[in-house]
Amino acid sequence: MDRHIAHPSHHRPRRARHLLAVSLAATLLPLTAAPASAAESSTVAEQVTTDRCPWGYTTSSTVFFGQAGADSGVPNRDLGDGCTILDAVWAKAPFADHGSFVSTVSGLANALRQDDVITPEQSASIVRAAAGSEIGNRQPAPGNRAVPDDRIGLVLYTVRATMPTAPEATLAALAACGYRNAEPSGGVHNFYGKRAEALAPLVADAGLSVPSIGIGLGDLRNNLDGVIANARAFGAKYVRISGSGSWTLDDYSAVAATLNAVGAELKQAGITVAYHNHGFEFTAQDGGVRGYDVLVRETDPNLVAMELDLYWAASVGADPVELIKRYPGRFSLFHVKDMAADGSFADVGEGTIDFARIFAYSKMAGVDYYLTENDNPRPNGVSSACDSYGNLRALRY
């Protein structure tokens, strides 16, 4: 399936189609076989845009520039040939500053209003959302802010060696060094060899809360009732999955559809589904498109969150700050893990990742929880976890 023309076309006024062509032309024209004359340039741009739409946003979401006031609530309408309002906006990126971003969105919204593609009220909502966003704003790191203690947690994968045999002692040790949140992972009815109903009281007795649990994609597809029951047992408001390095772009698109569908049901239960990345999602596939971009652009931001693993993104050269700038408001959860100089895992604050630079964009990202992790802890999981906690608490950005 062509990633750029996968969505059905709808008739739009000629001016709206021309507007989209103009918005996308700078991105698309380099793909043409030969330069066009001035008289032909508009026609060529329209012809190219009927074949390609570089951003790939679908109509499954609203026109969304971030959380709260940056979500317009206006449907992300198809402007023709599968290209949407958000496609037209992001074809103009990057933006020099917040003012130029708002000006771009205002011009587009006004033109769509004049063409009766959107109503005057919807146009005003889109412009207000752009104005209320952080896009284009500088995000300095003055060095006087700390990560809120009640938003720091541990991914229990770090202590997976002792959780099955000594859960009470492990959880107590984590709480003793300061943790207040934990993210257990496993599958429905099996978290470190225990059912959720059995493990949840042990976590609570240690004084820890569980904002998020990790489960499998198969659980979402085949046992959603069990997922909801397990999340409720822990009191979790997020459930997250991971992907596969063998997925094609069509697979990513199918997973995005699944996340939208189950996300709508989970939302009714007060739960948000999230996707946790590794590094393979950032490998370019057909046409230079990355699976990660398909997941973000084809999921509804009001239903699906992203759990950004900072180590795995950085390990393949995907800059977390650039991801946040491109997808504001989508990153409710951070996996905070560090990278040693040789590329291996390090305790948080003892490696090469500039967390202060990344955390400066926390508001733009929409971060709710910062969950530390070390996939290969030394000398042991608890010691590693406590070192990461102390370093993260001391970090200023």
CA distance 260 to 272: 10
Mean pLDDT estimate for the chain = 89
pLDDT at 45 over 60: no
pLDDT at 41: 35
- Per-residue pLDDT tens for 250-298? 999 999 999 999 999 999 999 999 999 999 999 999 889 999 999 999 9
Read off the amino acid at residue 254.
A
Return the percentage of the chain with pLDDT > 70, whole number. 86
Whose CA is closest to 394, among 195, 122, 178?
178
SS3 content of the chain, % helix, strand, coil (to 5): 45, 15, 40
190: phi then psi, degrees, rounded to nearest 5: -150, 95
HEC secondary structure over 296-353: HHCCCCCCEEEEEEHHHHHHCCCCHHHHHHHCCCCCCEEEECEECCCCCEECCCCCCC
93 pLDDT higher than 70: yes
What is the model's pLDDT at position 287? 86
**Is residue 44 scored above 80 in pLDDT?**
no
In the prediction, which pLDDT does 81 show?
Answer: 77
Alpha helices by DSSP H, listed for 189-336, are 196-205, 217-222, 224-234, 249-268, 291-297, 310-315, 320-326
Average pLDDT rounded to a whole number, residues 227-236:
98
| 238 CB-near residues (< 8 Å, 6+ apart) | 211, 212, 213, 271, 272, 273, 274, 305, 307, 332, 333, 368
Residue whose token pair is 């959880």: 171
Mean pLDDT, residues 59-70: 95
Shortest CA distance to 363 belongs to which of 131, 152, 67? 67
Q: What are phi and psi of 273, to 5 degrees?
A: -85, 145
Please report how the helices 167-176 and 381-394 are oriented relative to each other, as an axis angle in degrees rounded to 10: 20
pLDDT of residue 82: 83
Percent of the chain whose pLDDT exceeds 90? 84
Q: Containing H/E element for 165? A: none
Q: Is the entire prediction scored with pTM above 0.85?
A: yes
CB within 8 A of 384, min separation 6: which ones?
A: 158, 347, 374, 377, 378
- Residue 5 in this model has a pLDDT that exceeds 70: no
Tell me the CB-side half-sphere exposure of residue 301, using CA atoms within 13 A: 28
User: For 24-37, how does the pLDDT look when each residue is reduced to its tens digit (9 = 90+)?
Assistant: 444 433 322 233 33
Q: How confident is the model at residue 80 (pLDDT cuts 50, 70, 90)?
A: confident
The SS3 of residue 14 is helix
Q: Can you give the pLDDT at residue 46?
A: 34
How far apart are alpha carbons 373 and 389 in whole angstroms? 10
Query: What are the backbone angles phi and psi of residue 127, rounded to the nearest 5°?
Result: -65, -40
| DSSP result, 87-101 | HHHHTTPSPSSHHHH
Residues 256 and 311: their CA atoms lie apart, in Å, by 23
Structure tokens at 353: 């990742």
User: Taking a C-beta distance cutoff of 8 angstroms, is the pair 260, 253 a contact?
Assistant: no
pLDDT band for position 325 (50/70/90)?
Answer: very high
**pLDDT value, residue 30:** 32
* pLDDT for residue 283: 97
Nearest to 388 by CA among 373, 378, 369, 375: 373
